Structure 1
């Protein structure tokens, strides 16, 4: 077997491994008796090598996960292959305290562990070496990054939500309708937009106060959201007005869905804290995306239909009808 270092050089390689290597090195024989315990392990376990050498590893450290580690070592001895365990799979093998010089938040050392066979001079596997690498700084940086990302996502989600109803807000609607139109054009699926307004909402506020009005908005939002598909997007557009983006659905099918929503709201009784019951209705304007239409034009058509629904007596749905394209003029008669 080729040498891994030149024995003629004046280097004490065993001492380098034992005392200077910033990695924990534990060697056990086939009976799990500890035959090597380097300086890293002494410092972090607070156990001198003299108190560990010659002892069964699991007797010296009963807190080790014996079932898991025994299987790993036996597999290494039989198959003569190395194995690796990341801190993300198993935070630690030996539960060591973090160095006092470490200013991080971890209360124990995060470790990567490698187990590989140890051969004698004749190439026979006589034991296994467990190498412990302190990756606490890496782990803490990764965990901090994950927390930061989660907080950023939470902030983004909060910025997209209406504080009262929990629905998406106007800002999110403006972004989402543009994306839905692009997707509709790219994939060729239909897209409908409904503008919804709570009828006589000012009267609700005047009669039951703003707390009563808020309760109505929250209850209606919950009712509508529970009846929609996962692909639909319901937004609080402003005040008592809502915008509902309906992808993958044509105008006729959207009308059927909206009629179910209208009837559900009509049948609601919102219970206020003082025991009073409030009933409301809603008016709906519906429009569908046509070729070459901008987000503003689609919204404008839905708004026009909403105003038409209010003029028609409220508590109804009005769908926008595109004007018919005039037929081309007939050619002049032949002379």
Structure 2
């Protein structure tokens, strides 16, 4: 491509060398087969602080020892042997020559981002005698992409924070309401089982009244961590409100859901929750209602029925799990 441009310029009776020499938007470096510099245009002079007469006739790698010689030498030799161009994007390699960023708006970087093209230079007989390295300053583009990526990361962080409960780090009520609806649709579309559990800390008001709300917050965080560490990656534990939690369990049978929740109940019962004073230990229990997805049951109804099962556990003496049974009224599976 470079030879064609040069030829067209010559046919137009223009001094192509002078035009290339004085380009301010593209850096042009031409080296021969021994990597001796035979062209160093105005762009290169301004950004390297080296005048052409100070580098012409010298080995490129001697003048710029910081260049990645192994990589660039292979690129140039490949260009000379294969007689074809090669390209390097700033996303693959931020720069070839370490120049200072020329754009005053580029306040977050100390170097110029560059795209580079290397193509063969032919003599009048068409023989490849050297290689031309074209440097394009793409700092503005790189900075724009950086700002875009930063904005995207901030948007994702904001979206994530909007889905999380600030105290426990669990998913919040808004996420729960959206996710249970989505999981019901997915389960029905693919004919997969789904279960929902509502979990409540027993006598939580007594804990708050006895030890204070700071202790109550500590208990909520400790319970959230304990339960979350016992769940699958596909499960969704959410803080539903106050001391109540919602647990969405995709692809699990009613029987296995009951087994899992009984395991969680026992783990809570056996755990010691140490308060922030480092001395006081609080014992917790939970009451649970488990509702599987049933034909014709809407997400809201599923939540309501799980809550009714939770209430059944409370009525049965707390510290137990109540499972939905279609043939009878909901009763606790175990109680104490």
- For Structure 1 versus Structure 2, the TM-score category normalised by the shorter chain is over 0.9
Asked whether the 8 Å contact 1:104–1:140 carries over to 2, the reply is no
State the secondary structure of the residue aligned to 1:20.
Answer: coil
Moved more, 73-82 or 60-69: 73-82
1:209 deviates by: 1.1
In structure 2, the gaps of 5 or more residues are 329-336
TM-score scaled by length of structure 2 = 0.93
Q: Does 1:22 align with 2:25?
A: yes
Match of 2:229 among 226, 238, 248: 226
Distance 2:281 2:244 in 1: 21
Match of 1:41 among 37, 41, 44: 44
1:151 deviates by: 0.3
Distance 1:88 1:8 in 2: 37
Q: Does 1:211 align with 2:206?
A: no
Alignment match, 2:260: 257
1:13 deviates by: 2.0
Q: Does 1:58 align with 2:35?
A: no
5 Å-filtered alignment, 1:96-175, equals 96-99=99-102, 101-102=104-105, 104-175=107-178
1:270 deviates by: 0.8
Moved more, 69-78 or 276-285: 69-78
Match of 1:291 among 295, 300, 303: 295
Alignment match, 1:328: none
TM-score scaled by length of structure 1 = 0.93
In structure 1, the gaps of 5 or more residues are 325-335
Moved more, 233-242 or 108-117: 108-117
Moved over 3 A (4+): 1-4, 100-104
5 Å-filtered alignment, 1:266-277, equals 266-274=269-277, 275-277=279-281
Distance 2:270 2:127 in 1: 82
Q: CA RMSD in A?
A: 1.6
Match of 1:192 among 184, 192, 195: 195
Distance 1:103 1:95 in 2: 15
